[in-house]
Amino acid sequence: MQLRRAHALERARTFGNSRDPLDAALPSSSPGEPVGANSTAGMPSRDRAVLAAIVLAAFLVRLAWALFAHVDVRRRFFLDTSMYDLLARHLAHGMGFTGYRVQPIAFYAPGYPAILAIAYRAFGEELAVAWVLNAVLGALSCALVHVLGSRLFSRRVGLAAAAVLALFPSQIVAASLTMTEVVFCFLFTAAIYLFVRWTDEDRAAWRWFAFGLLLGVASLVRGVALPFVAVPFVCWIGLVGLRVAITRSAVTAAGLALVVLPWTARNWIVMGAPILISADAPYAFFNAHNPLAFGGQSFAINQLRRQEWPWLTQLRLSEREVEEARLELRYGLKYMLTHPRHEIELIPRRLFLFYAGDHHGIVPGKGSAAAEAIADGYYLLIFLLAVPGLRGTIADRRARVLPFTIAYFSFLHGVVFFGDPRYHAPLVPIFAILAPRGAAELWLLARKLRSPAKSPHGASYVAGAQ
């Protein structure tokens, strides 16, 4: 007990009034700056210049990589990457949400193609337009990470997190692809920032409605944002009580529904079924829950699908999408309930595949092996530093949204869907915020281990001594 009390006093002396270890590990960045300042208001001019340089560097390095990689998804078919580009061009030309045969589809979420279609309509249909859009949103994500880290912890954390994200290899590589990662990370990080900014204040209901609208837009880009409202709800219970948490969640859900339900109605009218957002959710669910499942994405299930439902190939494309989604969902649910042992065994495999590696998006070719090694090494370093950076976040009423978000995505891709490194992209901004804190925690720990510990009365003591 004496040891624990002494350690608490030592930590209080070391950290002072700071909410973050990085402030204790480094001297004050500007005269008169309060330790642990958690707001960008009154940000020193030097810090503003540093942030501007980070954001500009993030934009330039993403655009440079996109121009260098020059991934032409129109000359060579790159699965989803080519499909998103095609869907966007069809929307830009007023052809509706249609695939290669100009038939209505609902397999893909409409959000990213719609955003890309607006860019194509405004600036032309060259792939460079998509690359610039990715570079801009990637750079803005760095600014978002800064304000989020600053508000939760300190300006130092915010600046360090922005720098970490600016140089994150997978985020840079994603700028060269017409995929959802960059847009979704930007929207999702913005939603978390609004939650943190507004959550402990008595804000008007329209703010939570706006929060729901933003979550709705993010859900149309990636459906995994749809049930995310459960995370704010849990956080609000501890912050403002159950009654207010229910009210805020209801208002947020109303805003989310206002965005999502019109697309659901479109699917019902055009496709003949009330598909909430897209049919790829049942596909991913079926991929995760079948006899061939191993934890990751497997194209072998296509053979299983043909074996189970050979008559599907005789249906029209729109009919096949709807029927496949219905059958896959039913099959996956039945398999989950009847094969509990296999399901439990798959959880650690899915989580390993979800978190292991970060070289997705690198097109195979000359130098790709080195690029993959750099991407995986950088990610692994930041991931490992983020683990000690979680210390104290659950006890912090606002910062607990970070570990709760990590737990949310871990549940989705450890239990509900299959694991794949691509899908941890929304967590990268969170890792970027936590990593500087983790590095500071380790540095402070090393400093304490190098110096003899002191008792509350100033005398040296030995751990465990009575």
The pLDDT tens digits of the residues spanning 130-146 come to: 999 999 999 999 999 99
Residue 139 has what pLDDT? 98
Region 405-412 average pLDDT: 98
Strands (E), 3-132: none
- E strand or H helix that includes residue 302: helix 301-308
Mean pLDDT for the chain overall: 88
The answer to whether 420 and 297 have CB atoms below 8 angstroms apart is: yes
> How high is the pLDDT of residue 145?
97
The Cα–Cα gap between 377 and 181 comes to 20
Selection from 80, 144, 90, 98 nearest residue 116 by Cα: 90
Question: Which residues fall within 8 angstroms of residue 335, CB to CB, at 6 or more apart?
Answer: 289, 290, 291, 343
CA-CA distance, 115 to 137, in Å (whole number)?
12
Tell how many helices (H) and how many strands (E) occur in the chain: 19, 0
Please list, in sequence order, all residues whose beta carbon lies within 8 angstroms of the beta carbon of residue 74, skipping any fewer than 6 positions away. 82, 85, 127
The three-state secondary structure class of 162 is: helix
Structure tokens that stand for 300 in this block: 């072998």
Q: Residue 459's CB: how many other CB atoms inside 10 A?
A: 7
Tell me the per-residue pLDDT of 1-12, one tens digit each, with 9 for 90 and over. 443 444 344 344
Rounded Cα gap, residues 132 and 253, in angstroms: 33
pLDDT band at 368 (very low <50, low <70, confident <90, very high): confident
Residue 258 has pLDDT above 70, yes or no: yes
Amino acid in position 64: A
Percent of the chain scored above 70 by pLDDT?
Answer: 86
Locate 452 and state its tokens. Answer: 């003899």
- Give 76's contacts (C-beta < 8 A, 6+ positions apart): 82
CA distances from 19 to 147, 148, 275, 351, 410 (A): 16, 14, 45, 31, 27
- Give the Cα separation of 329 and 246 in Å (integer): 30
Burial of 198 (0-12, 13-18, 19+ CB in 10 A): middle
Match 């859009």 to its residue by tokens: 133
Quote the pLDDT of residue 199. 84
Integer CA distances (angstroms), 345 to 69, 163, 339, 340, 415, in order: 39, 38, 10, 9, 10
Q: Copy the structure tokens of residue 140.
A: 């803005």
